[in-house]
Structure 1
């Protein structure tokens, strides 16, 4: 391990010292799971436009994988993401960039071929890293222009409940990605917000936190100017009493701040993905934000279409709905600002997110799509209107869902900005829709035992389902508390409560559970969701059961048979261990159960039983069936 680490550091240091791609502004590394079971990696790097150009071919270095040490990357595009404003200018762009930290930024986008990554990542994950020298000059980091930088992302192992950790080939997970390029330059003197629009195609749960910029592999920046740190990367009251320090919402990823301090400030946000509460990925997006003084100019306001009041909260709509509900939310924006020639500013309103399509059936990740009326992107003066429309259904629930909290969240992002030059004023908000579904519980596992011929009986109490969501029961077993569960069989009759099977003889104890399989729509032909497991029942070996059987009793008399009001079960001696009694009708439905019988005679009241044939069963905790048979109720 030490030798591998040393080699990787030597490789990385060699790369950093040779590339010398200066005026780095940030970037991120992400991956996509392809249909052939391999991964496609994307790397985006943000470059100050007056710096040295990046190469057409780069390599991501891989740490902790037993055989893959690097991933070749090829640049597929370069995009100027500098501010866009009115034609009269002045403009910030790559063509006019003369000095650092004007806000003129270009994104270089690199793609890999599909990559074969086989195996299970270790606990510390597979680390994907790329770096160089040198950083752009920075207000918050001393001598930043002479320091290296490193992009990184981490892929972690995933071990589903009751299973072993999954091999990454074929792949099963996409990393979070960001819906929009970042805004490289913002105005001082106004409340500002940043939201990168992180999304996960499997709807894994995402959290956000500050992370440290790196100057070498696993080496954090430690030359912060007084008052700044990785978790306080933007100006605070230390620098101006009117500043409102940056706050990062760990749930939405939104960064809010107000700065009266100008400069250039690197910040890193780590987005962590959790699949069924298990961490699977960490994506680090780094960006050096430029804060510059602007002429007096206010951002467009966003108004609620019902109350006609400006919306200050974020998300502006945050509600929990049931899959199948229709979402309709309307709002409008107002911009009264003027350009230097006293003509009205033109605002552009854009609503984006992976679930937004051009129509309700096209253009999104998972139709039915949310769609915007009158348009997803609209421009105009004074007032712009928009309505989000979305017909939700069961297909919008993730396949791998935590049975204890059957809900997921869809975020839609609103960006409205004017065309004031050189830095437009912007207002960004979110719409959050939490979708939930009605979950069915597992059956109550009741008994598992061997009968007199060695067959295994598994008995449970069926569930009720008034919504028609039930599809089947799954019955599982294993031969140890830490062994993976094995699917034994399925039962499609919701009212069935008794399953009989045979398994090879063993001296080991077996463990049985049952769960419910269902969908959230009675009209669906799918069986996509599993309940939590039932309580676990232990089936002891036949040899253990024989020892117990001899300790209970040797024989049992049943009288009178037929019975009228009472029937007695008399053992030849008092049971020395607990004995359980179960009673079934001729359909196999369990109608009664008595636990821990310790008396020599059980006198059972059958007054309320209907006339007919009944099956009785006495079982020990280990021996299974001690005695069983039928009696007739007749009066």
Structure 2
């Protein structure tokens, strides 16, 4: 615990040096009688930088209640006074550079009776750019206004606030301020936070005619509002009846706050008075403080060694709180003290004693030795509950907490926990205890958990109607031994030892269980399904017939192993579904077996002879010249490719080939087997068999109207071009089938001689031909 002595207010962070102008203000009025009113405007400005001075003159406007201008006013500068920031605390470290000025403008005016009353308005720009809770604060000015009700019906004087809020408040420290107002008429006052008004602009910072109501409100940044104007925890609040303001500011910065006081007379609202001001929240670092741990617990002996974490002091005074003596004090920085007996003592530390800035802290010391932590346990097998029991000793106070760490990543509580370890081995188990006096002790023991056997078994010769042999495969850590092996068979009988035996009289799955026990009594078991298969019965696919040269796949099943014979044109003698391709009829035998029985089956593959296919004659012909092909040896025929062939299913078809090709004939015998043979035809091309005219007359008489290349061979034209006598291209084509009609782009060409270039290809050779052509219109 800590008490602050003589520290009134402390600051550790200077406020921003540059200010624009306004930091707060309010306007109020007094009814002097005879329709005369004294208007008072209090303004506050930041004078610590180069902000604008107070206005001289200051412009006000008086508006009728309907918003029309009644009167404009000029008020001379009355002079200003500095606001005392009360930074005289001798214990303050680095006081902030703070300067706030107050100017009080007054003017007496006469107001005729007006049922709508009057609004007095003053507007100014701008606020400090460093304000935290407003968006673009340097662009948001301020409006100070007062509404005077109808002078003909009421002579009212408005409330006015008694004092200006503190210039600086401290972040992290509780703040309170009496924000009460006084009312000359004794009216009832009700307080609340409210939203300040904007006013004026950069362009016209001090308008000669301020704007009439209604006035725009300031715009808050996210999270702030009139009810939550600054970061505080607990939030800043104001008592509605007294005006008492309190809260704990949480963040450093400058914040605009608005407070309104409503004026009631005989329960009727007759007016509302408003002011806003700027709170400057700074970091208040104390010049010194006393600090040491809040509590000491000695659970071993009677000596306490004290830590001193104080700041800013070089002299100390300790009182160890021992009532049995008068000299239980010290002036050293970090002393020790031996207490005479068990008990609870209150210790006091004073930093920089006997001075106005001294600070005091307190701590509780508890002396209750005699706490010993220990536990016991009952060894157990993995997978079984292992029980722990606390056997600790607490001479003073009852044990209240037990915290266990079982060494396998899990934890527990209580004085007699139970824990199951999944694996055998050694684990470091830790117990931490706490008694009623706050003493804590811990102890750690190595706990051994016995492993369980790793159990399995295999079997041999599990054959139908025979005795099968079962062999254990049990393992355990070398520090332990297997002392028991117990077999349980499907019929409920059993045996012991490393080997088991059972007579399998029928095919099926037999559940057999083996239980293994170690020398520590740890057990584990396994149940395997021993599968006994029925006797092998060879099952093969039916006999088949193929043609000479064909391949067929043989199919078998119901076995584990396969052996084929003879080794004649077969893909794999040990495969259950091999491929065979015999040239003659063959009987294939397969022996199908498992580990117990075998069976034999045969498949006969009959091989039919293929026809003796013959085709003739290989020859050479000109392109598209007919030639007859011949075939023999079967009852039906099929030729491929069938292109340019009169009948591809004829024994002797006629073909007119366009290019060199081979013709394959498939000959089918009467037994359905086939064979093939090939005839090759070489095709010659007819080259240089074309004519090019020398003249044409495109006059529409149907005779020589176009220029065309005529071919009666195999020549191909890939491109030809025609030019006039000036070398201009007048026609171009890429095919022998395209003719020129004597026009270019639809325009007739004149009579004359033209030059042509023609590219002609044949048998892979290409040549360009040129000459003259005469156009006669």
Q: TM-score range by the shorter chain?
A: 0.3 to 0.5
From the two aligned structures, give the one with the greater helix fraction. Answer: 1
The TM-score with structure 2 as length reference comes to 0.31
Larger Rg: 2
The TM-score with structure 1 as length reference comes to 0.38
